Amino acid sequence: MTTATPTAIAALTVTAAQSVAVAEALFPWSTTMGGYTECDTSLDSTEGWSACPFDARLRNQVAIYAANWQQLCPQGCVGGAGLFLGQCPTFANRSITTGANPAVAIVMLTGQVCGISEQLMYVSVVLEGGQPLADDVECNAQEPQYGMYNSDPNAIGGDGCAGAP
């Protein structure tokens, strides 16, 4: 009796091009806002972030933030809040690269009019159902470990990323 030998299946890996494409979708050009912003411009409704390329884990975390935001401001907060970039999320310039790990896109946003000259973001990309999607978005150039998975059950965004109402 012979036993079938399992065939090795090549691991699916995220390419640099896929990471860049996800980052471009997370921080697109907005004609209405006149600059590069985030795919979500307000947590006041799910319509804003539902089209963002999030994996299931990140989508679940953002839903918690949105529910907390809704509880904090049931009538909508003045000025809204950006999920990643805070209250004033428009930048004139955007560049996207990858480093040694092609599954992490590095997004440099510069030329903001609200006093922050630049913002460095790290987008971790995974394949889910064959689609490249963001699994985490980290910010704060000095401490890039700040991502979207805040352990505070009342949080409205990742540590150091989201703006306050």
Q: What is the helix, strand, coil percentage profile of the chain, to 5?
A: 20, 25, 55
Question: In the chain, where are the structural domains located?
Answer: 16-139
Each residue of 112-147: pLDDT tens digit?
Answer: 767 667 888 899 999 999 999 999 998 765 555 578
Can you spell out the DSSP letters for 27-87? S-EETTTTEE--S-S-SSSHHHHHTS-B-HHHHHHHHHHHHHHHHH-TT--TT--BTTTBS
Element spanning 106, H or E: strand 104-112
Q: What is the pTM of this model?
A: 0.82
What's the pLDDT at 66? 81
